[in-house]
Amino acid sequence: MASSSLLSRLAPLQDLEQYQDLHWSGSFDDYLALVREDPRVVRTAYQRVYDMILSHGKEEYIDNKKRIVSYAFFRDERNGGKDAIYGLDIPLMRLVNVLRSAAEEYGAEKRIILLHGPVGSSKSTIARLLKKGIEAYSHTDDGRLYTYEWVLPEDLRGISGGQEVFPCPMHDEPLKLIPAEWRSRAFEALGLHDNPFAHRVRGDLNPACRYIFNALMAHYAGDWTKVMQHVRVKRLLLSERDRVGIGTFQPKDEKNQDSTELTGDINYRKIAIFGSDSDPRAFNFDGEFNIANRGIIEFIEILKLDVAFLYDLLGATQERKIKPKKFAQTDIDEVIIGHTNEPEYRKLLNNEFMEALRDRTVKIDIPYITRYQEEIRIYKKDYNSERIGRHIAPHTIEMAALWAVLTRLEDPKKHDLTLMQKLKLYDGRTITGYTQDHVKELRKETEREGMVGISPRYVQDKISNALVSDKADGAINPFIVLAELESGLRNHSLITGEEDRKRYTVLLAEVRREYEDIVKNEVQRCISADEDAISRLCANYIDNVKAYTQREKVRNKYTGQYEEPDERLMRSIEEKIDIPESRKDDFRREIMNYIGALAIEGKQFDYRTNDRLKKALEMKLFEDQKDTIKLSSLISNVVDKETQEKIDVVKQRMIRNFGYNEESATDVLNFVASIFARGDSKDG
């Protein structure tokens, strides 16, 4: 009784109606009615995959004057972003364009889609997403598809080898049961002549179903309608785990490769029953090509395939047929996608025997991410305080991502740019004197950018090491992670040249300098976070700029006298953001024009809306105030009470404004104090 009670609690969790819908079955006549009602149920595999991607939505945006389409499917939102792809909108757009071409039958459906790129660049993830996506899509109304099985009475079961129900082993499209020679006339008679998908149902039945079909036709003296009474159409749910419509092939060592893994093999136990190894009932149609029919087959490291496999692969791509042992060529309908890395692809280019394969391949480069902010998203997905349960100091993940992207960029050939500046331009930041056209030119001048460098996996491994190291006592920070990244270079299996190792070490030093500038700026902002003081300084600056641009005098609020604009004050602020003497008039006019434009709209000027001016004011106020805080006293053993109180205020601002905790804020203040102690205070 208690057990029954427990079961009754679980019963409402099941959606029985949905289960019955997903496991629908009916007669061939019922299926023809379904096809008339919804023509999409007979789409090809390529059409289905393309529509599946579109069903998740897309967005368009302009990047460097180029229209980019971003497909939401690759964000993997239905799985919480577990396999989300970041920063590869252009390669993914190329992939979807190939799928669209194949869906429209413009020729790409006769090609292998080859994802090519360095290790860890998301090739496998893209293939995995497509497999998961088409599996989920087959469970929706929009993505439904059907196959059939033979149902035989006792007196006819000798045809199937004694089976009452004989499922189609390759999950064929039921419309293939209409003989090819009069299929087009049948579609016309059924009112399917306007169905854009039905006319793409080509080819014949697989050998096993063809045998049963012919045997029944002989039994009924050619009466096709009576044969169809033994057909039961059923909903087909694609499943990688059940090997239905989704196949994955991974080459083993050359001595153990066997092409029957792709096209099926003889069932020797059944030869004794049927008397011949060429009887289709004595054959297992369970090779990866067979079971992937109507869906997707993925080839992992496709170029490691033995030559014997390549003949099967060539036929499967160009002719859309496979050749099971001892049987005629058999039609297939599936998306063929493979992936390979750089060394294997170079071997392909140098192997003249592989020319036929190259000719049937559409190569899509999947490079490493070259946009810093997108790289950050990869690591933040796995390493965040909520997930790992400990504090990650600000900029820890960012600095690791910054270094990874720098290793993938090629040095600018012109434009007088540093590699760090190039990275920032790629990331959409503004650098004076450079436009979107420069960014476009920078990308065009590269040869192999994004195809070499450090893999995200290496960075992930080192962040993991940092999390379990003795130094990470409850938290990790950039110092710990950058040290891990550097120490790992000595034993990195993919770095074969000393030149690369030295370059990556030099780039780590660049990242450390960048981090230094960032934390100095944050400490400056926290010391000069007195908004009233900044507002007063800003008002003073604006009064002087207004008087200067209008050739007027400024009234001294203490003496009441009119004086010349305070050039020294204005320049002390402008120099903080590198406004040269020759550009000061232009900058001051820009500020006044900006204030005037706001006034016309009835808006009040606020220094916070102008990032450059805000930064200059903060740095000026910091310069005026830093001596009163005596930050450098942090690294001495004695800190007086008044200084400690001021330091505590700064620390609380860092915690509140930038996400530090007590420990990491103290670390950063000590670090910045040591910089000031060695006299490195040019920026503050």
180-189, 303-312, 645-654, range with the lowest pLDDT: 303-312
Nearest to 484 by CA among 513, 454, 527: 454
Six-digit token string for 537: 């300084």
3-class SS of residue 63: strand
Q: Is 125 helix (H, G, I), strand (E, B) or coil?
A: helix
Say if CB 527 and CB 646 are below 8 A apart: no
Residue 331 and residue 321 in contact, taking contact as beta carbons nearer than 8 Å: yes
How far is it, in rounded angstroms, from Cα 510 to Cα 117?
Answer: 27
pLDDT value at 681 more than 50? no
Mean residue pLDDT of the chain comes to: 87
Please say if the pLDDT value at position 682 is more than 50. Answer: no
| Residue 158 DSSP one-character state | T
Residue 680 CA, chain-centre distance (Å), reads: 41
* Cβ neighbours for 99, distance < 8 A, ≥ 6 positions apart: 46, 49, 50, 53, 108, 113, 335
Among candidates 561, 111, 73, which has minimal Cα distance to 337?
A: 111
Q: Which of 321, 335, 273, 312 is nearest to 134 (CA)?
A: 335
Report residue 106's pLDDT band, with 50, 70 and 90 as the boundaries.
Answer: very high
Backbone phi, then psi, for 261, in 5-degree steps?
A: -65, -25
Sketch out the chain's domains with CATH numbers: 22-367 (3.40.50.300), 372-497 (no CATH)
- List, for residues 35-70, the tens digit of each pLDDT value: 999 989 999 999 999 999 999 999 998 887 788 999
Q: Which H or E run contains 71?
A: strand 66-71
Q: Is the pLDDT of residue 3 over 70?
A: no
- How far is 597 from 557, CA to CA, in rounded Å? 27
pTM for the structure as a whole: 0.84
Name the strand (E) or helix (H) holding 483.
helix 478-488
CB 535 within 8 A of CB 607: yes
CA–CA–CA angle 175, 176, 180 (5° rounding): 115
Q: Give residue-wise pLDDT tens across range 585-631.
A: 988 988 888 888 888 888 888 877 777 788 888 888 877 766 555 55
Report the C-alpha gap between 534 and 95 in whole angstroms: 52
Highest mean pLDDT among 96-110, 188-202, 380-394, 634-648: 96-110
Which of 377, 395, 584 has its CA nearest to residue 479? 395
| Digit-coded pLDDT (tens) for 337-396 | 999 888 788 777 777 767 777 788 899 999 999 999 999 999 998 898 888 888 899 999
Non-local (6+) Cβ contacts of 391 within 8 A are: 385, 474, 475, 476, 661, 663, 664
CB 321 within 8 A of CB 329: yes
- Residue 328, judged by CB atoms within 10 A of its CB (0-12, 13-18, 19+), counts as exposed
Give 149's DSSP letter: E
Identify the residue with better confidence: 214 or 275: 214
454 neighbors 473 (Cβ within 8 angstroms)? no
In the chain, DSSP finds a helix count (H) and a strand count (E) of 29, 19
SS3 644: helix
Mean pLDDT of 493-516: 89
CB 335 within 8 A of CB 320: no
